[in-house]
Structure 1
Amino acid sequence: MRELSNTGTIYGINGPVIYLKGKTDFKMSEMVHVGDQKLVGEVIALDKDVTTIQVYEETSGLKPGECVEATGSAVSVTLAPGILDNIFDGIERPLERIADTGGAFVTRGVSVNALDTDKLWDTHITVAEGDIVQGGTVIAEVPETRAIKHKCMVPPDVSGKVISVVPDGSYTISDTLLTLELPDGTQKDLSMTQYWPIRVPRPVHHRYPASVPLITGQRILDTMFPIAKGGTAAIPGGFGTGKTMTQHQIAKWSDADIIIYIGCGERGNEMTQVLEEFGELVDPKSGNPLMDRTTLIANTSNMPVAAREASIYTGLTLAEYYRDMGYDVAIMADSTSRWAEALRELSGRLEEMPAEEGFPAYLASRLSAFYERAGMMQTLNGSVGSVSIIGAVSPQGGDFSEPVTQNTKRFVRCFWGLDKSLAYSRHFPAIHWLTSYSEYLNDLSGWYSDHVSPKFVDYRNRMMALLNQESSLMEIVKLIGGDVLPDDQKLILEIAKVIRLGFLQQNAFHKDDTCVSMEKQFKMMDVILYLYKTCRKLVAMGMPMSVLKAENIFEKVIAIKYDVPNNNLQLLDMYKVDIDNFYNRVLEKNA
């Protein structure tokens, strides 16, 4: 006879939500096993005589009367070597291991270890007998992949004195590495493995303000709308505008140490493409496969909605774990709209009062709690690590006024608005310079001044001013045509075109243009603004724009991005000489 305290009986089933009637000893957010197939579930509401559980797997065939067992712990992830170069579902079950046991489809109730418990890891112990350790102290180092050294740490809530320790050697993630004597006199064995509840942020010592940019190699991001390490950004855009491609470029080229890619509710074929592409990509920094520093969480649109809701937190907890080792981690969440739709569906099943467009009233607080876990932190062991969150938003019909986009804007400091018309005209990245913004620019200006040039932010602001002027002038051009504009305004339109095509547009498939260093970005701005200054002098002397355009200097400057190799930036200095020669030629011809 099972004890009533940690079991219950199913009374009602409503999609992924099930109800238990009668008193149980379940706890809020506790993980449970549901029915004969032991489906994974989580307690989400406790009433006097009704317990509500959301099930992370398909509930077809489940019937009233089946037993639900408590596990005694919250929904948690396993943290140990083996996370990188792996593909998990929304609740950290390894898809490759599931495929080995159950075939191409995820079978219900499948139970596999999150990480390989048999694999031996080459372990270097970093503490000695008699050491006093506390939460976050590194006790062992393991070369997890060719790119990343895994630092096994004391769990955040544990401290004590080391009374025995194993020598360096090969161990599994569950082998005891050392034994601690806790402050109360009891002993505790520590292995490489930790468990942490996905909905609880991992503790840190303190948070740093934004001061260092996440360099992506994409000009419109690094120069115009930068994101800080530990920052938050949203990429909203309709279907086909390039959200996933932008995230791929950031994942491949950014200077983050580790990438966590969360495919949340995306189409199966798109997720397959991501898995295949990431498997083939080579890390430009090390020459090793990019998967050596990447973890993929695949939760496709046909998987249960409750697991989709959990996948965001699973990825976030894995990111915080690597942050605690002192790494810079970037999370790509694609897409938070599908996550919000999962919230909406679950909220509907629970018969909660809907808010705008049927989303639950707590949508804003859930989004804020998610983005709030980003940041550059001093960890418990004194190292500095960061978690940067870049969330794609898929507003229906590309309407940025819908609730998910609007609420996301409240909690992120970087907004990269994708534009349908730019995408359809093959201008990529299709991030529109007039709808996008970054609040990190002032925070990062000191870094740009120290590491690139004191003129960097000024040049960026001057280019943005020209683009804004172009937008105003285009209203006049649409009404009465461009011929009536004076030459100084025609020049603004021409220079803005050089900025758009030569600087903001970037070719992901060109070897020199796919990723551009900060030095090259600055020198390109320098050349473009020097061209504007020179042409303005000529226009002030009365030279018509038709004469200036006949020299093809504008086309030559646009082609800088292809013509100057990344390993030979001295060539950029020659462009100023070309512009001076152009100036002299125009004066001679029209003397």
Structure 2
Amino acid sequence: MRIGRVVKVSGPLVVAEGMDEASIYDLVKVGERRLIGEIIEMRGDKASIQVYEDTTGLGPGAPVETTGEPLSVELGPGLIESIYDGIQRPLEAIAKIAGSNLTKGIEVPSLSREKKWHFEPKVKTGDEVKAGYIIGTVQETSVVTHKVMVPFGIEGKVKSIKEGDFTVEEVIAEIETAKGIKEVTLLQKWPVRKGRPYAQKLNPVAPLITGQRIVDTFFPVAKGGAACVPGPFGSGKTVVQHQLAKWGDAEIVVYIGCGERGNEMTDVLNEFPELKDPRTGESLMKRTVLIANTSNMPVAAREASIYTGITIAEYFRDMGYSVALMADSTSRWAEALREMSGRLEEMPGDEGYPAYLGSRLADFYERAGKVICLGEDGREGALTAIGAVSPPGGDLSEPVTQSTLRIVKVFWGLDAQLAYKRHFPAINWLSSYSLYLDSIGQWMNENVSDEWVALRTRAMALLQEEANLQEIVRLVGIDALSEGDRLKLEVAKSLREDYLMQNAFHDIDTYASLDKQFKMLKLVLAFQDEAERALKAGVYLKKIIDLGEIKDKIARSKYIAEADINKIDDIREELKTVIDKLIAEEGVVIA
């Protein structure tokens, strides 16, 4: 261990001399209280260190000890249901020791060293294994089977393997390699700033089904894709991410509260254990890892939190799981990056952010993906990254939003005006986009209905046409429009209010399966088809619009339970009958 001395303290940034044997990104212990820090810059024998704890009381002359290892996370049984801070300190375990406030210099292992896990081997003595091979399993929670993999860099023949109850540090297997016998435990470590290896990256084509109609139908994200949710204060970013975490068809959820308000994280910590997982009927926490780094925690740990989260997510991806990562929000992470860059006296870029903001964001989002994992079985895993962005004043032209948009393929733009009108989710259908539409559209046509893409395209065109017609209405009034155009406005209103609006707190409307979404969309567009048929037969538009009962049934189709979705087809048949009757009353013979 090399000992240096502090020569400068500037908030979370500490400069130490005598560190010529240290390397960039080495983990160090600073001061008598051994505060955790990471070297982020080297100049000669001077190291600039970002300290992940409060540096109050630290001064020149304090010792700095380098560990020679990078900032790493502990990976093994016990991750699920845990609540960590930005550098994987277990908050619940710390609370039992030190109370509700983080104590400086406290050292608590990320994974419990006392708890025993039942290990069941999947290989036998004499088997040849390589990195990524699954050698056994641990039932981590009632819904997650933890697959124990051969650590990266180990290849050889299994010399011995045990079955039974073990702590994470006890040896479960010995592997005979070219460099001698390597002992394998349930615990692995991995540096957070380095992506975990895989065999091959695949093109993501299947959607992450979320049950949110505006997402699945209009702006889907692929399993293994990357999406961002920018929006001003109060537009519903956190609720959107909660919905995606709860209803998205991912097997593991990693939720990172990066620099968020303490009360928002408290809501998450209180709500997630109470939420009933629709996939399993158990608590949502049974397949969730939470990382809480609130805005009053040390700013440097905020910068590390998204790397901690995505490394844990990659670990479960390597087991062959589909993982959804929620980062809320990357703007707070970028602010931490800006603060550390300013203290390092680096040349600022746009709005004071460092010039490397874009590349750091790319490093994070590019770790998402669908892959063939290392191992003998060619298992596939997917990591979907969804980052919230909080642009100041809702200005989407600011650097964090623009840098993110250059990387991700899905943009769900939240609109304050929609939120003020109580339209939730407040995703603006005119400014949002998804670059996965072609591949996911093909998947939808094959797995839901061959009409999916055609209906989606028609509905989107109708919403865009509505925006143009509204401009004309504002200029010259609605009387200037033809009956056909006024009908389009009526159908577009139905699309907005009956289809796109979704109540996150309603037991039925909070989630819509793909089949239900398809039937609802077909019903709304069937109203347009039938109304146009009536117009051609000479029926006045006012009579069509005044069809209160059938229109009310269309509007309330969102509240039909999943078990009864065939009733939506019955409403469509009833609609045809009502229009036939209306045409007959006008004295027109039906063809």
TM-score bracket, shorter-length normalisation: over 0.9
1:177 to 146, 151, 172: 172
Which residue of structure 1 lines up, in the alignment, with residue 322 of structure 2? 328
Q: Give, in whole Å, the separation in 1 of the partners of 2:551 and 2:475.
A: 26
Cα displacement (A) at 1:456: 0.4
- Please tell me whether the aligned partners of residues 225 and 383 of structure 2 are also in contact (alpha carbons under 8 angstroms): yes
Deviation at 1:23, TM superposition (A): 4.8
What's the secondary structure of 1:433's corresponding residue? coil
**Of 558, 582, 588, which aligns to 1:561?**
558
Deviations along 1:357-410, one digit per CA (max 9) or x if unpaired, are: 111100000011110000000000121001000000000111111111111110
Please state whether the residue corresponding to 2:479 is helix, strand or coil. coil
> 1:415 pairs with 411, 415, 440, which one?
411
User: For 1:34-53, what per-residue CA distance to the aligned partner results, in whole angstroms no more than 9, with x for missing partners?
Assistant: 00000000011111132111
1:401 and 2:436 are equivalent in the alignment: no
Q: Which letter maps to 1:559? A: R
Residues 327 and 387 of structure 2 are in contact (CA less than 8 Å); yes or no, is this contact kept in structure 1? yes
- 3-state SS of 1:155 partner: coil
Aligned residues of 2:3 and 2:19 also touching (Cα < 8 A):
no
C-alpha contact (below 8 Å) 1:498/1:554 kept by paired residues: no
Q: How does 1:90-169 map to 2 (within 5 A)?
A: 90-166=86-162, 168-169=163-164
Candidates 281, 306, 309, aligned match of 2:300? 306
SS at 1:385 equivalent: strand
Amino acid aligned to 2:578: F
Q: Which stretch shifts more, 480-489 or 299-308?
A: 480-489
Q: Measure, in 2, the Cα distance between the counterparts of 1:99 and 1:258.
A: 25
* Distance in 2 between residues matched to 1:303 and 1:57, nearest whole Å: 8
Paired residues for 1:438-587 under 5 Å: 438-552=434-548, 553-562=550-559, 564-587=560-583
Supply the AA of the counterpart residue of 1:557.
I
Contact 2:85–2:305, Cα closer than 8 Å, also in 1: yes
1:242 corresponds to 2:236: yes
1:20 positional shift: 1.4
Distance 2:579 2:120 in 1: 65
Q: Shift of residue 450 of structure 1?
A: 1.5
Q: Check whether the contact 1:7–1:24 (CA below 8 A) recurs between aligned residues.
A: no
Letter in 1 for 2:78: G
User: 1:455 & 1:508 partners in 2: Cα distance?
Assistant: 28
User: SS of the counterpart of 1:559?
Assistant: helix
- Match of 2:102, SS state, is coil
Distance 1:507 1:14 in 2: 47
Taking the aligned partners of 1:173 and 1:52, their CA distance within structure 2 comes to 34
Deviations 1:464-515 (A, max 9, x none): 0000000000001111211221100000000001100111000112121111
Aligned to 2:42: 46
Would the aligned equivalents of 2:537 and 2:583 in 1 still touch at CA under 8 Å?
Answer: no
Question: In structure 2, what residue type is equivalent to 1:9?
Answer: R
Equivalent residue letter for 1:267: R
How far apart, in 2, do the equivalents of 1:544 and 1:406 lie? 49
Q: How does 1:55-94 map to 2 (within 5 A)?
A: 55-94=51-90
State the Cα RMSD in Å: 1.0
Pairing 1:315–2:309 present: yes
> Which amino acid letter does the alignment assign opposite residue 473 of structure 1?
L
- The DSSP-based 3-state class of the residue aligned with 1:216 is coil
> 2: distance between equivalents of 1:199 and 1:395?
25
Q: Flag as ranges the 4+ runs of structure 1 deviating above 3 A.
A: none
Q: Which range is displaced more, 429-438 or 42-51?
A: 42-51
d(CA) in 1 for partners of 2:185, 2:541: 73
Deviations 1:285-324 (Å, cap 9, x if unpaired)? 1111110000100000001111000000000000000000
CA-to-aligned-CA distance 1:223-266 (integer Å, 9 cap, x gap): 11000000000000001100000000111111100000000000
* Cα contact 2:20–2:44 (8 A) shared by 1: no
Separation in 1, partners of 2:15, 2:203: 45
SS in 1 for 2:216: helix
CA distance in 1, matches of 2:18, 2:278: 59
Residues 555/481 of structure 1: CA separation in 2 closer, same or farther (3 Å cut) = farther
Greater Cα shift, 219-228 or 536-545: 536-545
Alpha-carbon separation, structure 2, partners of 1:247 and 1:258: 14
Contact 1:427–1:505 at 8 Å: present in 2 too?
A: yes
Displacement of 1:544 in angstroms is: 2.3
> How many residues in Structure 1 have an aligned counterpart in Structure 2?
584
TM-score by length of 2: 0.98
* CA shift in 2, pair 1:504/1:23, >3 Å: closer
Structure 2: distance between partners of 1:409 and 1:540: 45
Residue 22 of structure 1 deviates from its aligned partner by: 3.7
8 Å CA contact retained: 2:3, 2:18: no
1:97 and 1:87 map into 2 onto residues whose CA distance is 9
Matches within 5 A, 1:416-431: 416-431=412-427
Deviation at 1:156, TM superposition (A): 1.6
Q: What code does the residue aligned with 1:99 have?
A: A
Gaps of 5+ in 1: none
**Counterpart residue type for residue 553 of structure 2:** K
Q: Which stretch shifts more, 572-581 or 346-355?
A: 572-581
Q: How is 1:32-43 mapped onto 2 (pairs within 5 angstroms)?
A: 32-43=28-39
**Structure 2 partner of 1:341:** 335
